[in-house]
């Protein structure tokens, strides 16, 4: 397996696992892969519809999919931690070749960050998986019109499956990290693409510009360090334009969507954090909290 370790900002990282599909003559793919492929093909056909409920459903669905955290998408890219697969890891049959931009992250931090990403959301995914499963029987009566699928039911099924994959994908990553089976490799190609994205502001420019030199990369890193102010500020490292460039460089088209989604979510998070840190916002929050405290005290007196 090949893992792309992609720092989105100075505080957040996207991970994406590229699995090598082993094709055996005469053997069908696992049923989970067949169901997933069937669903993807059906969704793609509905997206191509000019009008109708299929078209509207895919439009609303794609908006909801964009809201799924990029961390979940990253963990879902790993195969689930089945007993058989964990045993194969223990036997040394599974290794993780991890590519990372060495100029923008220390090699000593890679394993620790991977461990954190693998474990920090396990409780959340477990809780939400069981919540979605609990909602499935409740949504069954929504099958009123035979022609239109039971959207609430299928959504609950999808989200339960998604949380399951993220949960057990994280468990597999955790197991691999704990067994020290991560082979981290400093990718000069990533360094160049990161630097090109920071230096240039549009997708066309870095594609046509000369390949960044070591001096250019050092300059880009220095600017990031300066803007971060010793860790006080969160600074973007990846730009949306990097998605296609990295996908093309490593011949993995799926990376473009993953990177663009992650960059958009992190940019929104940073923007919201800055807005909330403004003095007027902080002042309004303090006033609100004081008013609530006063109301509680008044209620106690009554």
pLDDT at 276: 83
Type and span of the H or E element at 21: none
pLDDT band for position 116 (cuts 50, 70, 90): very high
Residue 71 forms beta bridges with which residues? Answer: none
**Residue located via tokens 């334009």:** 241
pLDDT at 143: 64
Lookup: tokens for 30: 């696992």
pLDDT at 23: 42
Planar angle of CA 242, 246, 249, nearest 5 degrees: 140
Q: Which residue has the higher pLDDT, 206 or 165?
A: 165
Q: Which residue has the higher pLDDT, 171 or 30?
A: 171
pLDDT at 170: 95
pLDDT at 25: 43
Of 8-17, 146-155, 280-289, highest mean pLDDT: 8-17
- Tens of pLDDT, residue by residue over 171-229, are 999 999 999 999 999 999 999 999 988 887 555 555 666 788 889 889 989 999 999 88
Q: Which residue has the higher pLDDT, 28 or 23?
A: 28
With a CB cutoff of 8 Å and minimum separation 6, the contacts of 190 are 6, 99, 100, 101, 102, 246
pLDDT at 95: 81
* Average pLDDT rounded to a whole number, residues 152-180: 92
Q: Is the pLDDT of residue 288 over 60?
A: no
Range in 55-59, 95-99, 283-287 with the lowest mean pLDDT? 283-287
- Tens of pLDDT, residue by residue over 239-249, are 888 888 999 99
Q: What sign has the CA pseudo-torsion 213, 250, 6, 81?
A: negative
Widest pairwise Cα distance in the chain? 78
Mean pLDDT of the chain: 82
Give percent of the chain with pLDDT exceeding 70: 75
Q: At what angle do helices 53-67 and 31-48 cross, to 10 degrees?
A: 120
38 touches 133 (CB < 8 A)? no
Q: Is the pLDDT of residue 290 over 60?
A: no
Of 129-133, 273-277, 279-283, highest mean pLDDT: 129-133
* Average pLDDT rounded to a whole number, residues 71-81: 93
Residue 11, judged by CB atoms within 10 A of its CB (0-12, 13-18, 19+), counts as: middle
**What does the alpha-carbon distance between residue 67 and residue 38 come to, in Å, rounded to a whole number?**
23
- Tens of pLDDT, residue by residue over 37-48, are 666 666 567 667
């Amino acid at each position: 397996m090949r893992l792309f370790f992609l720092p989105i900002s100075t505080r957040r990282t996207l991970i994406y696992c590229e699995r090598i599909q082993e094709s055996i003559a005469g053997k069908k793919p696992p049923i989970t892969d067949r169901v997933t492929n069937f669903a993807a093909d059906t969704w793609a056909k509905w997206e191509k519809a000019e009008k109708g409920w299929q078209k509207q459903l895919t439009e609303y669905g794609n908006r909801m999919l964009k809201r799924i955290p990029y961390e979940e998408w990253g963990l879902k890219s790993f195969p689930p931690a089945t007993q058989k697969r964990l045993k194969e890891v223990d036997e040394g049959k599974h290794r993780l070749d991890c590519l990372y931009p060495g100029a923008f992250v220390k090699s000593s931090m890679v394993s620790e960050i991977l461990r954190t990403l693998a474990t920090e959301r396990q409780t959340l995914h477990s809780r939400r998986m069981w919540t979605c499963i609990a909602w499935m029987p409740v949504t069954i009566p929504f099958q009123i019109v035979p022609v239109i699928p039971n959207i609430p039911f299928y959504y609950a099924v999808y989200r339960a499956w998604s949380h399951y994959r993220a949960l057990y994908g994280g468990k597999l990553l955790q197991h691999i990290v704990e067994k020290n089976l991560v082979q981290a490799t400093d990718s000069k190609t990533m360094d160049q693409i990161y630097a090109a994205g920071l230096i240039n502001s549009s997708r066309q420019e870095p594609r046509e510009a000369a390949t960044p030199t070591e001096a250019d990369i050092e300059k880009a890193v220095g600017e990031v360090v300066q803007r971060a102010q010793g860790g006080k500020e969160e600074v973007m490292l990846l730009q949306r334009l990097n998605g296609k460039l990295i996908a093309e460089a490593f011949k993995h088209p799926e990376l473009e969507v993953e990177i663009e989604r992650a960059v958009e979510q992190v940019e929104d998070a940073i923007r919201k954090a800055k807005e909330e840190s403004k003095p007027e916002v902080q002042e309004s929050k303090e006033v609100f909290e004081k008013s609530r405290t006063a109301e509680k005290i008044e209620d106690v007196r009554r």
